[in-house]
Amino acid sequence: MKHVPVITAAEAAALVQSGQTLLVGGFGMTGNPVHLVHALADTDVRDLTYVANNVGEAGLSGGRLLRNGQLRKAIGSFFTSNREAVAAAQEGRLEVQLIPQGSLAEALRAGGAGIGGFYTPTAAGTVIAGDADVRVLNGREMVFVPALRGDVAFVRAWRADEAGNLQYRLTEQNFNRAMATAADLVVAEVEEIVPVGTIPPEGVHTPGLYVDYLVQATLTADALGSSADVKGSAKKVDEARMHMARRALAELRRGDVVNLGIGIPTLVADLITPEHGVNLHTENGMLGVGPAPEQGGALDYPVNAGKIPVTALPGASYFDSADSFGMIRGGHVDVAVMGGLQVDAQANLANWAVPGKPLLGVGGAMDLASGARRLIVLMTHTDPDGTPKVVPECTLPLTSRGAVSMVITDRAVFEFRGGTLTLTELMPGATLDEVRAGTGAPFVEAL
């Protein structure tokens, strides 16, 4: 049986050389190998290419490397959660490559499996596709995404045995599992190291053949950033938003697998009861999401895609980000409820970027919009200045094309019937004249 050396975080950091590509596991600070990254921040290593879902939080994990000027490039899906990363990109101090979250996870899995890349419908027809090879496969336009590998991977697991077998806790699998396969040298930071045989074979998530070194490090709330306590999260709640959330809930059916995006859609989760029979999915690796706990954080509970601690309902399951997005792209999610910036008359959605701001935060929106069987968009009817958000043609960067099934605003409900934008309902307190005046796209009235 293989015996994996146990080293210190400082010794692990010494394995990384300037100019290398570093894979860092975690979703936000959940499952993040923060002790390894902070040890690296104490070295003189520079010009790193940092591959992760995001660059940690300000001053935490990758955020500390960024603050030190140790990063040359970052490859990931959502950098806007770290204001210092946004500033560095705007000022030209950090090169950024943005990849949809599901494509990032699959690119890492492909890299670890010796596959050169793959074609995906995610990002087809959007600026994210860039100059990638595009082909029509099985009647769908698909974009080629090359595999991703690194020189070194830092991952975080709950337990390891002396042979390097890893077991993850709750939603801490996220990007860790794929990254542990996709680097030439892998260091696993773990809460505890146990004798071989302590972890049953069916409990091993990452076999020890992938792991080169182990570092024992105890996680504390200080390392969890915004996920340290559920009380640190904040939702914008008003009656108009709650009307929208209630109307969206009315569209969900018993047995539906449902993914709720950030923003207004998160309010739907607070309305769902066990009697609804809805199975909530979160793209960072959980099915069977329950309500937020009254107190506690990521040391005690799983975390959802909004990085908010949640509970697990009976029958819940955990998996990694690559499997999660396989569920999404494979059409196994019945409904996605997402926020929006614009929806147009062709059922196109724009919800991730606005003019004048860096394109730094696509997350899983493109995967969900193109992969869910039904897409419901919740958004205010107009911008604060009265500019319509239901428009003839999207002028903002697209998230997906022709995918929207229903739009619920604070004034109206629209459906796409036979490909035609159709007004089917007025929201409480709204008038038909207000809807006509505040809607930029032509629509059919079917009240």
For residues 430 and 247, is the Cβ–Cβ distance under 8 A?
A: no
Cα 218 to Cα 203: distance, rounded to the nearest angstrom: 21
Nearest to 306, CA basis, from 20, 23, 28, 19:
28
How confident is residue 234, by pLDDT bands cut at 50, 70 and 90? low
pLDDT digits (tens, 9 = 90+) for 300-351: 899 998 888 999 999 999 999 999 999 999 999 999 999 999 999 999 999 9
Q: What's the whole-model pTM score? A: 0.94
Concatenate the DSSP letters of all residues of 108-154 into one string. Answer: HHHHHTT--EEEESTTTTSGGGTT--EEEETTEEEEEEE---EEEEE
Does residue 233 surpass a pLDDT of 70? Answer: no
Reply yes or no on whether 283 is catalytic. yes
Does residue 19 surpass a pLDDT of 90? Answer: yes
Percent of the chain with pLDDT over 90: 83
Q: Which domains does the chain have, with CATH numbers?
A: 9-99+148-219 (3.40.1080.10), 239-445 (3.40.1080.10)
Average pLDDT over residues 122-146: 94
Q: What is the pLDDT of residue 227?
A: 76
327 forms beta bridges with none
Q: What is the pLDDT of residue 80?
A: 86
How confident is residue 374, by pLDDT bands cut at 50, 70 and 90? very high
Which amino acid, residue 160? A
Does residue 298 surpass a pLDDT of 90? Answer: no
The mean-pLDDT minimum among 5-19, 24-38, 232-246, 249-263 falls in: 232-246
| Residue located via tokens 């806790």 | 169
Cα 61 to Cα 267: distance, rounded to the nearest angstrom: 30
Q: Which pair of structure tokens corresponds to residue 337?
A: 């409820």
Does residue 356 surpass a pLDDT of 80? Answer: no
Cα 132 to Cα 110: distance, rounded to the nearest angstrom: 17
Cα 341 to Cα 308: distance, rounded to the nearest angstrom: 23
Give CA 214 to chain center in angstroms: 27
Nearest to 208, CA basis, from 174, 180, 170, 173:
180
Average pLDDT over residues 124-132: 92
DSSP state, residue 8: -
Top-confidence residue, 266 or 344 = 344
For residues 335 and 372, is the Cβ–Cβ distance under 8 A?
A: yes
CB atoms within 10 A of CB 433: 8
How confident is residue 359, by pLDDT bands cut at 50, 70 and 90? low
| 162, 283, 294, 434: the active-site residue | 283
Q: What is the pLDDT of residue 411?
A: 97
pLDDT digits (tens, 9 = 90+) for 70-80: 999 999 999 98
Question: Where is 420: in which H helix or E strand?
Answer: strand 420-426
Cα 181 to Cα 99: distance, rounded to the nearest angstrom: 19
286 forms beta bridges with 282, 318
Does residue 232 surpass a pLDDT of 70? Answer: no
